[in-house]
Amino acid sequence: MLDKLQALLKTSVNFPSPPAIAQQIIALAEDPDSDIVRIATTISKDPGLTAKVLRVANSPLYSKRRRSSNLRQALVVLGLNAATTLALGFSLVGKYRSVKGKGIDYTRFWRKSILSASAARAFAEQQGVGDVEGVYLGALLQDIGMLATDRVLPDFYASLPREHTHVQLCAYERERLGIDHAALGGWLLEQWRLPESVCRSVAWSHGPPASAHGTPDGIAAGCIALGGECVEMLLDQSLGNLEAIAQHAEEWLGLDGDRLTIAITRIVNEIPETERLYETALMPAELAVAVLDQARELLLIRNLQAIEQVTTLRAATEDLEARAVALEDMHRRDPLTGLYNRGHLDRVLAEEFEASTHGGWPLSVVFIDLDRFKQVNDTYGHPAGDEVLIGTAQRIRSVARSSDCVARYGGEEFVVVLPGLHGSDAEAVCRRLLVRLRNTRYELRDATLTVTASIGLATHDDQHPFDSVAELVDAADRAVYAAKKSGRDRIVNFATRGTGSAGVGGVAAVDVAADASAPPRQASI
């Protein structure tokens, strides 16, 4: 019977191969030379698919630092692999959601598929799985074997009792077909040339074999299987299988009751956003919350004997994690000012320049050099100089955003990285800094001291693009040098436009006067 079924699937006109757009996405996923342009061009052929990918990129489920306003930015935010996988899933679901049949409740079928994908992703992220979106796609397609069987054998599932369990369904399939829908689905996706890992995770979606426990493939399959069981529990509004779910959570993923509860809570909380992404009703929120509350209570009772041990272990783990975070942060900080050090700054600059270039948003870099700082050390001593450096660091942090990177570049030099700010906005930040530095008084020995700064600004954007992060940094450095030469206590805004006598070597700059109330005047580098 199995050979006959597979032959029918290969030749059936009722269950065709993936739609054209999905076939193109599969081909791109196999091509190691695929890039943003090719993938964006393919996805953009389907306006509905484009809208879904943009919606995902801006969804709280995939929240990033910056909002995507176009498909290219969405691909950068999501990453090529995740974007390709999500687009493929949307394409396939969009193709087959309109399918109807006699023996399958297709409304419930797609509710379970979509919710299971969300649930599997929650478990995959909790487990630290590398290819989370591969798990998501596998979960979305885990019951595709049922759909395939129903297409070529329309009356096959009609003989099942209306109220049947998943275990009964699989036994029914194996008895009559020699295979269940999970294994059949894995075979079908192989014919579609989907990634081997996705095919295997679907084939194992009723539970990974014992030999695969703890392996990447076994964990991925465990996330899908456990997500499917949790969704079945929610849809059926029944806690009869909760004990089996808890046992599988421990067996497949090493999850205790607390972590299982956290995952189920996340699954329920994400239902409204998942409904928005797929533009469909999945289940009433009040019913899902009611099941969740009961599940929490039962899992709490189940773990009551281990509460003290779990609490102690969690406290120790959190303490170790906090120490690790603190130690890592300490290695990224300048010990005197508490700002980021040069090594961390270099990494941030490289990452932000890459993101700015591919994402199409501006990146401003500010160099700050204290004026006549050597005289402070020579006249008042190094402790006084340290006080000025610490005070300057505090003033810089006070005008920067939490998302900006503020670093000590070396000596009396500081750098601020301003992602997403154009030159005019970055210049406003610099003006506020100049005013705060001028208004800061240091009581040193018998004297009151004010230390100003020269500031250089350079911006990488569509109007002033730089070829490399080194060129951007050099431009900001040249701008601060120009500020020094122009009289100190001012800003020079570097621009890559040649404006005749306004610049030297084809470079134009804007000089902001030391008097904050005075209008900007032109100065040359």
Tens-digit pLDDT profile for residues 121-139: 899 999 999 888 889 888 8
Q: Average pLDDT, stretch 418-426?
A: 93
Which range scores top for mean pLDDT: 67-81, 286-300, 387-401?
387-401
User: Domain 99-323, CATH 3.40.190.10 — does that match?
Assistant: no
Model pLDDT, residue 515: 39
* pLDDT surpasses 60 at 523: no
Label residue 288 by pLDDT band (50, 70, 90). Answer: confident
* pLDDT surpasses 70 at 396: yes
DSSP single-letter state for residue 504: S
Show me where the domains of the chain are located: 12-96, 99-323, 342-522
| Nearest one of 138, 77, 87, 136 to 270, comparing CA atoms | 136
Model pLDDT, residue 130: 85
Higher-confidence position of 241 and 412: 412
**Residue listed under structure tokens 């080194």:** 470
In Å, how far are 1, 86, 149, 238 from 245, measured between CA atoms? Answer: 32, 27, 27, 12
Q: Average pLDDT, stretch 282-305?
A: 74
Q: Among 315-319, 337-341, 384-388, 427-431, where is mean pLDDT lowest? A: 315-319
Label residue 101 by pLDDT band (50, 70, 90). Answer: low
Model pLDDT, residue 277: 78
Contacts of 375 (CB under 8 A, 6+ apart): none
* pLDDT surpasses 80 at 217: yes
The model's pLDDT over 433-461, given as tens digits with 9 standing for 90+, comes to 999 999 999 987 778 899 999 999 999 99
The model's pLDDT over 50-72, given as tens digits with 9 standing for 90+, comes to 777 777 777 777 655 567 777 77
Model pLDDT, residue 332: 85
Residues 342-522, CATH architecture = 2-Layer Sandwich (3.30)
Model pLDDT, residue 493: 93
Label residue 256 by pLDDT band (50, 70, 90). Answer: confident
Model pLDDT, residue 502: 30
Burial of 233 (0-12, 13-18, 19+ CB in 10 A): buried
Contacts of 90 (CB under 8 A, 6+ apart): 49, 52, 53
* pLDDT surpasses 70 at 106: yes
Q: Which amino acid is residue 9, in one-letter code?
A: L
| Nearest one of 389, 418, 407 to 345, comparing CA atoms | 407
Looking at every residue in the chain, the average pLDDT score rounds to 81
Model pLDDT, residue 81: 67
Q: Average pLDDT, stretch 6-14?
A: 64
Label residue 108 by pLDDT band (50, 70, 90). Answer: confident
Model pLDDT, residue 19: 64
Q: In this prediction, what percent of the chain has a pLDDT beyond 70?
A: 82
Model pLDDT, residue 166: 84
